[in-house]
Amino acid sequence: MEILVCVKRVPDTAENEFQLNSAGNDLDRDDLVYSVNEWDNYAVEEAIQIVDRVGGNVTVVTVGDSESEEVLRREMAMGANTGVLLSDDAFENSDGKGVATILAGEIKKGKYDLILTGAQADAAAGQVGGMLAAMLDLPYASLVNKIEIDGSKLKIGREIEGGNQEMNEIELPCVLSIQTGINEPRYVGIRGIRKVAQVEIPVKDAAALGVDPASVGEAGSKVKRVDYFVPVLGDGAEMLEGSTDEIIAQLIERIKSKGGLA
């Protein structure tokens, strides 16, 4: 089975405290730690496990600048066979549809049985997989947490509300967005990264993909981020301060009054 997994380099939510820049219109990106989108790791692991069972190849692809190469290498160190970087100045500031348009260009050039994405990435929109499927006229399922291969079809589970699982049958080729927890992504050590450090990663631009530059990037974007701000959701917590003993005494008093301690 030929599997394409779409991945993205994102700011790591576990490693960063997000601050706004002085103008307040973007994150202060100078010291941000980036890594591969968490959901994408599960998608790549699933692709590798499928190929281990039935044969084939796993290709990882991303839209980004040269810094995005590092996430392709990381996923190749996990076991993906090939990496492809889709990069062009015209791709900058693409909205979700723009990213899907660029990826669709690459997919049309190849022949893939299965296309996987993470269920969402840093913008938490969960949009690229569903858009890709619609652009390519392929069946789609989101939030997939189980895949069984059954000839030219897959039996898949989707995570739905309440932790229940919705089972579907879907025809190949198809696009699936992968939910975390579907598997346990393998650990990638320094040695694994070193092994793929010299592998050549082809870079394709808009012309190579047959993508109209006006349909992507800032020019083609109909959804634009104006600014970032720190949300105010409620009144905010009463913050307890002082020595640990003082804090604990205050906390126990409050928990008692709310019926949380006998």
Kindly identify the residues of this chain, within the stretch 150-209, that bind another protein according to CB under 8 A. 155, 157-171, 174, 180-181, 184
- Segment 94 to 113, residues that bind another protein, using CB under 8 A: 96-97, 100
Q: Applying CB under 8 A, does 237 fall inside the site for another protein? A: yes
Q: Find the shortest distance in angstroms from Cβ 106 to another protein.
A: 17
Q: What is the dihedral of CA 167, 170, 175, 179, to 10 degrees?
A: 10
The answer to whether 114 touches 50, Cβ cutoff 8 Å, is: yes
- Segment 26 to 55, residues that bind another protein, using CB under 8 A: 27
* Gap between the Cα atoms of 68 and 107, Å rounded: 19
Among 63, 131, 147, 216, binds another protein (CB under 8 A): 131
Q: Which pair of tokens denotes residue 29?
A: 């990106």
Among 90, 128, 196, 206, binds another protein (CB under 8 A): 128
| Burial class of residue 41, CB neighbours in 10 A (0-12, 13-18, 19+) | buried
The residue among 40, 48, 39, 46 whose CA lies nearest residue 6 is 40
Q: Find the shortest distance in angstroms from Cβ 109 to another protein.
A: 20
Q: Applying CB under 8 A, does 68 fall inside the site for another protein? A: no
C-beta closer to another protein: residue 203 or 240? 240
Q: What is the dihedral of CA 215, 75, 182, 95, to 10 degrees?
A: -20
Q: Find the shortest distance in angstroms from Cβ 152 to another protein.
A: 11
Among 134, 199, 203, 214, binds another protein (CB under 8 A): 134
Length of the chain (residues): 262
C-beta closer to another protein: residue 170 or 206? 170
Eight-state DSSP code of residue 193:
H
Among 81, 113, 126, 192, binds another protein (CB under 8 A): 126
C-beta closer to another protein: residue 83 or 98? 98
* Gap between the Cα atoms of 175 and 186, Å rounded: 23
C-beta closer to another protein: residue 54 or 255? 255
Among 30, 124, 150, 191, binds another protein (CB under 8 A): 124
Torsion-angle region of 15 (φ positive above 0: left; ψ -120 to 50: alpha; else: beta): alpha
